[in-house]
Amino acid sequence: MSALAQPRVRFGGGVLLVLALAVLLAPWLAQALGAHADTVDLYRRLAGPSLRHPLGTDELGRDLLLRLLEGGRVSLLVGITAALAAAVLGTAIGLVAGYFGGRLDAALMRLTDGVIALPLLPLLVVLAAADLHKLGVPDALRQSEAMSLYRIIVLVTLVGWTTVARLVRGTTLSLKRQDFVRAAEALGAGHRRIMLVHILPNLATPIIVATSLAVGEIILLESVLSFLGLGVAPPLASWGNMLTGAEETIALAPMLAVYPGLLIFLTVMACNLLGDGLQQALDPRQRR
């Protein structure tokens, strides 16, 4: 069955495609409206929808639609980048552990179990609150507006690789006993060639499924940390820190919280549906 024949793949992929196109076209929309996502106008605080501001303005008079699109760009960037980085790290660890086995496998899997056993959200809160100056981060990078963005990507990558690692390790244990791997060994192929040329291409299905599911989880984590003030820092917009800004004015303008919350819900749901559909389409056991 083709992956595109799955209704969940079409719906989840369609929602993500629409969101991606919307955030990419945000600069042209801002030019058409004659506004900017970061322009503060205190005289137009909490204004209702109008031709210039289709969804109204936020607590600082900034255009809400453009802030949502700008926040979507940041949230999707964090989710996709961190998911891909975690997939690469997890694939490397799982492939090495499954192929070589023995003590190396035991050590890497105990490391994986240790990371899984850690309470994820409290750990991320503590790491996100760490003083970058004491960690030796250069002042130029530490004072950069995008530093909070880089930090959240690194932190999520460091704790988000375990699922991919376990899936890849289990599949590698099965694949290395297959005839085509033994034939490559008999022909004198080295360990690197066997892992990268013969085993890695056959790991595409679990890696793709795990990565697509991880995007939604990471966006949700970023939103939670940003809501707590430990994620993406203003003036950069993300759906999480938009919820933080709407917290004090929710009684006067509840839609300031509804819009980013709805977009987080749609994005996470679309990623989960896409991952489930890909798993059913690409896994022969699921097809049967």
Q: Which residues does 136 contact at the CB level (< 8 Å), separation at least 6?
A: none
CA distance 288 to 282: 11
Decide: 64 and 86 in contact? Cβ < 8 Å.
Answer: no
Cα angle 115, 84, 229; round to 5 = 65
Q: What residues does each domain of the chain span?
A: 3-27+49-287
pLDDT at site 141: 64
**Which residue intervals of the chain are DSSP H helices?**
7-24, 26-33, 64-100, 102-117, 120-128, 139-142, 147-159, 162-175, 179-186, 191-193, 204-227, 239-246, 255-282, 284-287
- Report the candidate in 172, 97, 159, 95 with the shortest Cα–Cα distance to residue 127: 159
pLDDT one digit per residue (tens) for the chain, 288 residues: 455 667 778 888 888 899 889 888 888 888 887 777 777 877 888 877 888 888 888 888 888 888 899 888 888 888 889 999 999 999 999 999 988 888 998 999 999 998 888 887 787 777 777 766 666 667 666 666 677 778 888 888 888 889 899 999 998 988 888 888 888 888 888 888 888 888 888 888 888 888 888 888 888 888 888 777 777 777 778 888 888 878 778 878 888 888 888 998 888 888 888 888 877 776 655 454
Token pair of 42 as six digits = 């205190």
pLDDT at site 3: 59
pLDDT at site 135: 66
pLDDT at site 47: 79
My answer on whether omega of the bond before 235 falls inside 30° of 0, hence cis, is yes
Cα angle 267, 271, 275; round to 5 = 170
Cα angle 82, 78, 126; round to 5 = 75
pLDDT at site 94: 92
pLDDT at site 89: 93
CATH code for 3-27+49-287?
1.10.3720.10
pLDDT at site 245: 78
Query: How far, in Å, are 18, 217, 249 from residue 271 at the CA level?
Result: 13, 9, 30
